[in-house]
Amino acid sequence: MADLKDVKPTVTVDARGTYCPGPLMELIKEMRQQPVGSIVELISGDAGSAKDVPEWLAKVHQEFMGVIEEQGYWRIFSKKVKDM
Amino acid sequence: MSKRVVVVGGGVGGTIIANLLAKKMRQELKKGELVIDVVSDKPEHLYQPGLLYVLFGLKQHEELVRNERDLLDPMVELHLHPAVKIDKDKNEVHLKNGAVLKYDIVVLATGCRPAPEMIKGLKEGGHWFYEYDACLKLRHELMNFKGGKIVLTIGMPHKCPVAPLEVSYMLDDWFRQRGVRDKVEYTYTYPIGRLHGLEPVAHFAAKTFPKHGIKSETLFNMKEVDVNKKTVTSLEGSTLNYDILITIPPHKGAQVIEDSGLGQNGFVPTDKFTLKMEGSNNVYVVGDTTNLPISKAGSTAHFESDIIVENICSELREGLTPFRYDGKVFCFIETGMSSATYIMFNYTTPPSPVTPSALIHWFKLTYNKVYWLTPKGIL
């Protein structure tokens, strides 16, 4: 698999500095509206997202591609592998 | 040659912007140097937060609507024809009656609507209170309800993120007042792993739900509703039985936004500080129409409007747009039929709900009555 840093996301959701409705909710919204095959990059300033997102993806049988920790924020990559 | 600002949408954001701009730029309007247009697809302006009270018979339709023309400054021109196309390359708004409004600056204030059709079976099996007719239908269901299971589900995205909590607390109180609370099993579900997107509000709910006898299930995103079996199933694999399914349906933006290629599902990519459409210099976006990951609420539109008006005014007079939106939102939260709290936050400061009180509840009821000063640009 290609290095995560080289992945070109279909869409990037920057949820930093948002207190409502929260990074995971933004990801859920985006995953539902993007077509199968899309890669969604979620940028979150909340450390909890790096844990919440993979857990949710596992529950709904979508692919967690990985996370890149930057200074003070996290880039979390997900792939929509089936309809939802 | 005069400048023209076209506001597409006559909801709270669009109406405030047109009125405040007319007030601030009165001299230019009088001299014919500026024209302000509002395009709306309906003659009535609805105070949407009032629907929560309609559900309990505490508000009537006539208290929640005003004629949009009466709310607008007399110097603002109102076009009661839906916009069918917004051409940002030619700076034109096309109306259904064939008229074309050429603009210097356009404000997209087209809002969003519940779209239960996005979830299989939800439109047929669910009840919601975010639209007047649907709200009345749910009211009748609740009035005839003798007991059983009520499940509340929440789709993404949705407007007024505190309303699902408010209706839960209020229903608990209402059923107690009617003496049937012990016959009602009430389950509140939420899409993520806590009870609200705002962490402090989620803590507040976790602390108060047991006292109200409200059950909960988190990580619940609706997949489908089986109307015959009266079940709702989540993407996460959980199935709940219901007698009444109350839902906050997923929302969609306006069709004209999608048709004009301005944003997926009718939500426009927007700079969170300037509130301009990404990649555009003369397209502003307000309220529910933005794709910003912040509350879709009237108060958001209100605070954004102040910034947009200041920037439009400054841009037309000096060619500068110095003002920035800081993400400010203020929401009341009803915590029963006679108490409420509130939250206030922005991009950098999280909210902190205060101890609920009757005083805040009465403040909210008062605001419901004086709301009309807000779209007029007075409050």
Closest of B162, B183, B157 to residue B292, by C-alpha = B157
What is the C-alpha separation between B90 and B76, in angstroms, rounded? 23
Distances (CA, A) of B8 to A82, B106, B178: 37, 7, 45
| Tens of pLDDT, residues B361-376 | 999 999 999 999 999 9
Across the range B39-62, mean pLDDT stands at 97
Q: What ipTM score was computed for the predicted complex, to two decimals?
A: 0.88
Q: If you search the block for the tokens 């404000």, which residue do you land on?
A: B107
Buried b (16+ CB within 10 A) or exposed e, B314-325: ebbeeeebebeb
| Tens of pLDDT, residues B109-159 | 999 999 999 999 999 999 999 999 999 999 999 999 999 999 999 999 999
- The parent domain of residue B62 ranges over 3-111+254-328
Number of separate domains in chain B: 2
pLDDT at B284: 98
Q: Is residue A10 part of a domain?
A: yes
Q: Residue B344: is its pLDDT beyond 70?
A: yes
B interface with A, Cβ–Cβ < 8 A, is 156-157, 161, 191-193, 197-199, 219, 221, 223, 235-237, 250, 264-265, 292-295, 327, 329, 345-351
What is the C-alpha separation between B151 and B231, in angstroms, rounded? 10
pLDDT at A20: 54
Distances (CA, A) of B355 to A28, A76, B135, B210: 31, 36, 29, 17
Q: Is residue B365 part of a domain?
A: no
- Asked whether residue B238 falls in the same domain as residue B121, the answer is yes
Name the residue facing A19 among B237, B265, B350 (closest C-beta): B350
Q: Is residue A8 part of a domain?
A: yes
Number of separate domains in chain A: 1
Residues B68, B69, B75, B80: is their CA dihedral positive or negative?
Answer: positive
Q: Residue A19: is its pLDDT beyond 80?
A: no
- Whether residue B347 and residue A17 make contact (CB cut-off 8 A), yes or no, is yes
| Tens of pLDDT, residues B188-219 | 999 999 999 888 999 999 999 999 999 999 99
Half-sphere exposure in the Cβ direction for B50 (13 Å, CA): 20
Q: Which of A19, A20, A59, A61 is catalytic?
A: A20
Q: Residue B171: is its pLDDT beyond 70?
A: yes
Whether omega before B293 lies within 30 degrees of 0, making that bond cis, reads no
Q: How confident is the model at residue A1 (pLDDT cuts 50, 70, 90)?
A: low
- The parent domain of residue A69 ranges over 4-79
